Chain A
Amino acid sequence: MNPPGSQSLGCCSRRHFLGAGTFGLGSTALAWMLQQDGLLAAPARPELEPQRYDLLPKPGHHPAQARAMISILMIGGPSQMDLFDPKPLLKEWEGRSFPGELKFDNAGQASSKVMPGLWEFQRHGQSGTELSSLLPHLAGVVDELCIIRSMRTGVNNHGQSLHALTNGRITHGAPVLGSWLGYGLGNESQDLPAFLTLTHPSGLPLLAEHNWSNGWLPSLYQGTVVRPTEPRLLNLDPPAHLRGLPQERQLELLRELNRGHRERHPGEHDLDARISSYELAARMQTAAKEATDIRSESPATLRLYGIDNDLTRDYGTRCLIARRLVERGVRFVQIINNGQSWDHHSNLYKALPEVCVRSDQPVAALVRDLKGRGLLDSTLVHWGGEMGRLPVIQNDGPKDKVGRDHNTYGFTMWLAGGGIRGGMTFGETDEWGHHAVKDIVSHHDYHATLLHLFGLDHQRLVYRRAGRELSLTDGKPARVVREILA
């Protein structure tokens, strides 16, 4: 734990001081010094605190397994029966009419013809977990993964389902998981934001900034975008003519002026916070540049992530940056695809291998690398989209044209590390791979479980707004899926 020491004084509000004052100055000073040394997290907020917010590390409700999370969001609906969820029955029924009800997004291309998985499945690792041949690299780390085959949001379309998985509602406007973690736990880095989103070079994802929205939480909990090209963080680079010494001179003068002003305003701790926020900003300019710059990584590491290969360079770079950020104490990192690039209504045969090949090696490298550095135990890795696909053909025709329509009633995602049991699959869809039927995991269960791993109780992590207590799980039934905990 490494709290932002120079912020501590500033973030002790007047009320904190008042509370400490009853124990005499000695204990206030002691608390302050302990914060400096990272021995004491910020005290829980007193009850009638005016609305002020910070990113100081805070204790959770119970001991945490996970310290950081990397969420690899694969928006569009990765096809579970072609990747993670083998369904032999489909082979038997190939080409015959699906016997049950189906809900189509586009009837014009619909068919009820059953389509088996297009790629072979094989067992891998000690656990013997089955994966399709599209994920050869992931197969190498399969014993670290918990593959959940029974995800279900049950809402109709991409947007609603994506919101459900990011913010627990089916509309935008509420804070996403990363914001809740920053709000509940603060950040461990002195020099970096708590929540960073690495966007894809081909463009923003479906729902764009809603994927890293702080909703009605204060803006300090918003995700900061790490751009796919330099400058990777906005406002991080000084204008060319002020780079280096001139900006250092500016900061030096500013410090002097602010110090003079502070002396004329005894007891105004907000001013200290403001002064230290400049220190942090200055540090961030260096730290964030350093953290997002992979040139210091060894050639072996670059190769591991596939950065030497045109196809895997982008995901490789972003996965590697994600590891570097987590290593440096960032709480939540999101790696996002562009648009809804896993949305294979047609052309599945060609398009699915294309998206897989760009990410398979880098993602597997990330799990392997985290493990090798001893970071996997405390870093939760998530891979998944907002839906899966139907067991029938969409766009019937030549083999290279067919695809699959949406399915939010049963789909797959996986988790690894951070207190998750590796080498297991959890839950089942029906024999068609259509509806989740056993050990169904709703988006609320998923959120409750992740918060639990971070030491947070989803019912108690609340934000009061307009007389209501709001939470990520939105007061809906949600259970911690204990079966998948290590």
Chain B
Amino acid sequence: MAPQPALPTPRPAWPTGTAWVWGTAALLTLGKSTLGFAAAPGGPLPARPVFERNIRPILKAKCFQCHGEEEKPKGGVDLRLRRFLTAPHATEPVVVPGRPDTSRLLEVVRSGEMPKAGKALTPDQVAVIERWIRQGAPTARPEPQTVPAVVITEEERQHWAFQPIRRPGVPRVRSTRQVRTPVDRFLLAPLESERLGFAPPASPEALIRRVTFDLTGLPPTPEEVAAFVADPSDEAYERVVDRLLASTAYGERWARHWLDVAGYADSNGGAEADSERPWAWRYRDYVIRALNSDKPFDVFITEQLAGDELVAQPGAGLEGEDLDRVIATGFLRMAPDPTGDGPADADLARNQVIADTLQIVSSSLLGLTVQCAQCHDHRYDPIPQSDYYRLRAVFEPAFDWKQWKPPGQRVLSLMPAADRAAAERIETEAKQIDAEATRLHDELIEKFVQKQLTLIPEADREPVMAARKTPAAKRTPDHLALLRKHPTFQDHIILGEIDRPGADKVEEIRKRATAKRAEKPADPQVACLVEEPGRNLQTVLFHRGDHQQPRGGVSPGLLTLHGLGGLTIDIPSTNAATRTTGRRLELARRLTDRSNPLTARVLVNRVWLHHFGSGLVGTPGDFGALGERPTHPELLDWLADAFIASGWRLKPLHRLLVTSAAYRQGTVNPSAQRRDPDNRLLGRARLRRLDAESLRDGLLAVSGRLDPRPFGPPVPVAINPHGQCVVGRQKRDGNGDAVGVDALGSDEFRRTVYVQVRRSTPVGVLETFDAPVVNPNCEVRALSTVAPQSLMFLNDAFILERSKDLAERLLREKPEDPTGRLVRLWLLLFSRPPSADELRRTEAYLVRQAIHLAPPSGGPVDPKAPPKPSPEAQALASLCQVLMGSNEFLYVD
């Protein structure tokens, strides 16, 4: 049989055959260039380009910033409407319809004279402009008489993601025996039109390993495998799924996915200090509990966006549901935040925190990249700059950058009243000690200054002291001249560098204050966002995103594109029924309203991504013009609709997806592989590498070390003498310098989701396997295959210790049965017994390895040395290490 040609992907499911598609595809090409190398042409030029579809998107991306968005367009050239282009211009017309040769526009983009900033137009873009002018520069329809404040064209409105979610009919398919759920029909229909079908089902061993890692991030135990292999019926599979969904491990696994997009970290980041964020973990625990209890996702979203507005009195004494709601607002406190670490420019840092928070909200819930619109209208999506600030206005009263609370102050204390009184007493005493230190510090500086005074001419002494005592802002030119002449009288004097013993004394006193404060009773706290009543700061648009260039005020609202049919959705500035402005609550209501086209699509796409290894939309954080199109748009809508209909519950969605025939197929399907090598049609299961957490947790589990205790403050991390970050407690010398790592006992073996996330020092083992970089959040993880990963498996202490643990476990469980040990080893790691060949080969390996590892006989024996593992045990450990690093463990079928 002649090989069949591959499918004409890469864009199989896009609408085809219209000029509109070309326009979008060209833009995609332009923006997607991974390395920025010359982009491939997007396809054939449209035969009959029109302004709205083909020309305006190019001008919007390249020219509008100077020629349309500014109050006064540069050089008087405004490119927003076709009639402006052809209007007579001071020097020469920008566009002369029918005459490319005399059209200035074409000349400047072709020569590269324009755009002044950024990349030149591609040859294809120039060519389409030329064709358009040659054909008389047509528009699709008459242009509006006035330029509306917000220009969103009909073409932009038609973008697939902004259309209402409609439940499509379930397609008919021929091979109904391959259908287990409606999901399968949506997948089979396009497969069948390519004369393909699903792969044969995965083996029970492969399936239970897949679904257990998928739902819990852990491998199945040999007992669980054996039970399922003995009865692999549909009912038994559903029981397995229900058991996994009911386990705490489910929440721990799926919380991690949400924490990626929320940008979870236990440190503030954004500055060198990367100070600790001591109470963030309550939010992490909230997410785990919410998933485990299958909290409806609309409620989950609402609590995270506006939990404080759901609570009558968000103060001390909160408990139960109300406490949870306040903890949930930790979501809005996840952005990197250096504002407590003395940033160089405090106002800039505050506004950056708000911008990062909006980025997290929009990429996680809206599936759009709104941050571009902070400085100018979005280049590719219909998001005008004013929309960005309307969205920001929703959050403004809660963040209030003019009355900012740094991280340390935005906590809610859960401390009992008696403890509080005691703490206040201690604080008063500590403050007195602080004052003592400050007094001494100032005295010593003054003493220094007095001594300096004797070194300068007598006539200057009094005036220079007068200048020194005048506040900086009020100094006269004479003052300044004097201080320049005698710089040692300027303000910034570092005591430690002029009087070391004195500085030490001050430090001693400060240490006493610290020791005093350590006597305070524990103060359990919640890091949260609680809006204060009466805050109604006017949000203004920042010209070019610069907070020092405020422009007109805007009122809160959703993005214009959310208002189907051209309506804008305002959010009331205040709400009489809530204690606060109620803006975020209203936003949450709007986002979770079933008429919102994005939220449910974005969420089900993420769930799909984690079950199937790739989203129906390949860019889960960007459903806009630069994002990918869904491979199965009807399926996406059907799932979004079903998700909403089920009351926004995840567990039924998981059940629906993992019981589908599509999910249960094997990884091998030669004809699908040939025709669809990218597996966009899902004619086979994707082989997937374990992510960083599943790898570490899986190794802990198989080696019998995993400590499954859930929740609580993060397990600390520390830098070891090799400069690597490991799980453990930092050992420090008298100067506070790191000198080593103390072990933590069984805490060291807790699940990875409980390990401290320090933005500046990720744990080595996790980082090597592509742990997320949350800056501010992580929409999709990278996936690397590099030698340091292999070196880790060969030589890293963590791996060597787990190999030893696993070998000891095997020897303990099967002391008299070497073959049984190997069977057990295979079952633990691969969820299957070894083949006869593998057994034979491995036994031979163990024998040879043990001979080599045996100590030379006859040497002196040190009776005090700790007993060394026997050569057999060492050989077994070396085998465990090999299997842990093998692809069969590292990948899930």
List the interface of chain A (C-beta within 8 A of B).
10, 14-15, 17-18, 21-22, 25, 44-55, 58, 61, 97, 101-102, 104-112, 156, 159-160, 170-173, 183-184, 193, 204, 207-210, 216, 218-220, 224-225, 227, 234-239, 241-242, 245-247, 249-251, 253-254, 256-258, 260-262, 264-268, 270-271, 273-275, 277-278, 280-282, 284-285, 345, 457, 459-464, 466-469, 471
* Known A112-B486, A467-B621; 8 more pairs at CB < 8 Å: A50-B614, A51-B783, A111-B487, A207-B272, A219-B782, A219-B786, A250-B882, A467-B624
Q: Which B residues are in CB contact (< 8 Å) with A47?
A: 10, 28-29, 32-34, 39-40
Query: In the complex, A25 Cα to B793 Cα: how many Å?
Result: 35
Q: Which B residues are in CB contact (< 8 Å) with A14?
A: 677-679
**Given known contacts A47-B32, A216-B773, A241-B853, is B791 in contact with A281 (CB within 8 Å)?**
yes
Inter-chain contact A261/B363, CB cutoff 8 Å: no
- Interface segment, one of B171-179, B184-192, B489-497, B558-566: B489-497
Q: Which A residues are in CB contact (< 8 Å) with B372?
A: 467-468
Q: Which A residues are in CB contact (< 8 Å) with B786?
A: 55, 219-220, 277
* B488 → chain A closest CB, angstroms: 6
* B24 → chain A closest CB, angstroms: 13
* B717 → chain A closest CB, angstroms: 14
* A193 → chain B closest CB, angstroms: 8
Inter-chain contact B788/A268, CB cutoff 8 Å: no
Q: Which B residues are in CB contact (< 8 Å) with A49?
A: 34
List the interface of chain B (C-beta within 8 A of A).
3, 5-6, 9-11, 28-29, 31-40, 118-119, 269-272, 344, 359, 363, 369, 371-372, 445, 448, 484-495, 497-498, 614, 618, 621-622, 624, 626, 628, 667-668, 670, 673, 677-679, 687, 689, 722-724, 760-761, 767-768, 770, 773, 775, 779-780, 782-796, 800, 838, 841-842, 845, 848-849, 852-853, 874, 878-879, 881-883, 885-888, 890-891, 893
Q: Which A residues are in CB contact (< 8 Å) with B359?
A: 466
Q: Which B residues are in CB contact (< 8 Å) with A246?
A: 849, 852-853, 878
Query: In the complex, A14 Cα to B676 Cα: how many Å?
Result: 10
Give the residue name and chain of the B residue nearest to A58 (CB).
B35
**Given known contacts A14-B678, A266-B673, A271-B887, is B775 in contact with A107 (CB within 8 Å)?**
no
* A403 → chain B closest CB, angstroms: 11
Q: Which B residues are in CB contact (< 8 Å) with A281?
A: 787-788, 790-791, 794
Inter-chain contact A111/B488, CB cutoff 8 Å: yes
Inter-chain contact B791/A18, CB cutoff 8 Å: no
**Given known contacts A106-B492, A237-B795, is B487 in contact with A257 (CB within 8 Å)?**
no
Interchain residue pairs with CB less than 8 A apart (11): A44-B35, A54-B785, A106-B493, A112-B486, A218-B770, A218-B784, A246-B852, A246-B853, A261-B888, A270-B687, A285-B794
Q: Which B residues are in CB contact (< 8 Å) with A285?
A: 791, 794
Query: In the complex, A234 Cα to B787 Cα: how many Å?
Result: 12
Q: Which A residues are in CB contact (< 8 Å) with B628?
A: 48
Inter-chain contact B487/A258, CB cutoff 8 Å: no
Q: Which B residues are in CB contact (< 8 Å) with A247?
A: 794
Q: Which B residues are in CB contact (< 8 Å) with A44?
A: 35, 37-38
Inter-chain contact A268/B886, CB cutoff 8 Å: no
Inter-chain contact B344/A156, CB cutoff 8 Å: yes
Inter-chain contact A219/B119, CB cutoff 8 Å: no
Inter-chain contact B35/A45, CB cutoff 8 Å: yes
Q: Which B residues are in CB contact (< 8 Å) with A256?
A: 841
Give the residue name and chain of the B residue nearest to A156 (CB).
B344
Main secondary structure of the interface of A (DSSP, over half): mixed
Q: Which B residues are in CB contact (< 8 Å) with A258?
A: 886-888
Query: In the complex, A466 Cα to B119 Cα: how many Å?
Result: 19
Inter-chain contact A238/B795, CB cutoff 8 Å: yes
Inter-chain contact A274/B29, CB cutoff 8 Å: no
* B51 → chain A closest CB, angstroms: 26
Q: Which A residues are in CB contact (< 8 Å) with B845?
A: 249, 253
Inter-chain contact A46/B791, CB cutoff 8 Å: no
Closest 3 CB pairs of A and B: A467-B369, A108-B493, A281-B790
* B748 → chain A closest CB, angstroms: 20
* A387 → chain B closest CB, angstroms: 16
Query: In the complex, A466 Cα to B32 Cα: how many Å?
Result: 12
Inter-chain contact B36/A266, CB cutoff 8 Å: no
Give the residue name and chain of the A residue nearest to B33 (CB).
A47
Inter-chain contact B36/A18, CB cutoff 8 Å: no
Inter-chain contact A107/B493, CB cutoff 8 Å: yes
> In the complex, which of the residues B10, B786, B793, B796 has the most CB atoms of chain A within 10 Å of its own CB atom?
B786
Query: In the complex, A281 Cα to B848 Cα: how many Å?
Result: 24
Query: In the complex, A61 Cα to B36 Cα: how many Å?
Result: 9
Give the residue name and chain of the A residue nearest to B495 (CB).
A108
Give the residue name and chain of the A residue nearest to B336 (CB).
A173
> In the complex, which of the residues B723, B768, B788, B878 has the most CB atoms of chain A within 10 Å of its own CB atom?
B788
**Given known contacts A156-B344, A270-B689, is B32 in contact with A464 (CB within 8 Å)?**
yes
Checking A207, A257, A467 against B883 with a beta-carbon cut-off of 8 angstroms, the contacting residue is A257
Give the residue name and chain of the A residue nearest to B777 (CB).
A466
Inter-chain contact A271/B891, CB cutoff 8 Å: yes
Query: In the complex, A466 Cα to B775 Cα: how many Å?
Result: 10
Give the residue name and chain of the A residue nearest to B3 (CB).
A25
Inter-chain contact A184/B35, CB cutoff 8 Å: yes
Q: Which B residues are in CB contact (< 8 Å) with A280?
A: 787, 790
Checking A50, A55, A171, A282 against B271 with a beta-carbon cut-off of 8 angstroms, the contacting residue is A171
Query: In the complex, A173 Cα to B267 Cα: how many Å?
Result: 14
Query: In the complex, A270 Cα to B239 Cα: how many Å?
Result: 33
Inter-chain contact B490/A107, CB cutoff 8 Å: yes
Inter-chain contact A15/B678, CB cutoff 8 Å: yes
Q: Which A residues are in CB contact (< 8 Å) with B792?
A: 235
Query: In the complex, A254 Cα to B498 Cα: how many Å?
Result: 63
Inter-chain contact A254/B34, CB cutoff 8 Å: no
Q: Which B residues are in CB contact (< 8 Å) with A237?
A: 795
Inter-chain contact B795/A461, CB cutoff 8 Å: no
Give the residue name and chain of the A residue nearest to B830 (CB).
A261
Inter-chain contact B784/A53, CB cutoff 8 Å: yes
Query: In the complex, A237 Cα to B788 Cα: how many Å?
Result: 12
* A283 → chain B closest CB, angstroms: 9
**Given known contacts A21-B6, A219-B767, is B887 in contact with A261 (CB within 8 Å)?**
yes
Checking B270, B689, B775, B881 against A250 with a beta-carbon cut-off of 8 angstroms, the contacting residue is B881
Q: Which A residues are in CB contact (< 8 Å) with B838?
A: 257, 260
Inter-chain contact B487/A219, CB cutoff 8 Å: no
Q: Which B residues are in CB contact (< 8 Å) with A50?
A: 614, 618, 783
Give the residue name and chain of the B residue nearest to A219 (CB).
B767
Q: Which A residues are in CB contact (< 8 Å) with B668?
A: 264-266
Query: In the complex, A12 Cα to B498 Cα: how many Å?
Result: 62
Inter-chain contact B448/A108, CB cutoff 8 Å: yes
Query: In the complex, A224 Cα to B40 Cα: how many Å?
Result: 34
Query: In the complex, A183 Cα to B786 Cα: how many Å?
Result: 13
Q: Which A residues are in CB contact (< 8 Å) with B879?
A: 253
Query: In the complex, A48 Cα to B618 Cα: how many Å?
Result: 9
Q: Which B residues are in CB contact (< 8 Å) with A264?
A: 668
Query: In the complex, A28 Cα to B871 Cα: how many Å?
Result: 49
Inter-chain contact A109/B677, CB cutoff 8 Å: no
Query: In the complex, A274 Cα to B769 Cα: how many Å?
Result: 13
Q: Which B residues are in CB contact (< 8 Å) with A235?
A: 788, 791-792, 794-796
Inter-chain contact B485/A97, CB cutoff 8 Å: yes
Inter-chain contact B272/A159, CB cutoff 8 Å: yes
Checking B492, B767, B874 against A241 with a beta-carbon cut-off of 8 angstroms, the contacting residue is B874
Query: In the complex, A221 Cα to B642 Cα: how many Å?
Result: 42
Checking A160, A210, A260 against B344 with a beta-carbon cut-off of 8 angstroms, the contacting residue is A160
Q: Which A residues are in CB contact (< 8 Å) with B371?
A: 466-468
Q: Which B residues are in CB contact (< 8 Å) with A48?
A: 10-11, 28, 32, 618, 628
Query: In the complex, A316 Cα to B779 Cα: how many Å?
Result: 45
Q: Which B residues are in CB contact (< 8 Å) with A51?
A: 780, 782-783
Checking B495, B796, B882 against A257 with a beta-carbon cut-off of 8 angstroms, the contacting residue is B882
Inter-chain contact B885/A466, CB cutoff 8 Å: no
Give the residue name and chain of the B residue nearest to A104 (CB).
B487
Give the residue name and chain of the A residue nearest to B848 (CB).
A249
Query: In the complex, A246 Cα to B770 Cα: how many Å?
Result: 30
Query: In the complex, A159 Cα to B272 Cα: how many Å?
Result: 8
Q: Which A residues are in CB contact (< 8 Å) with B852?
A: 245-246, 249
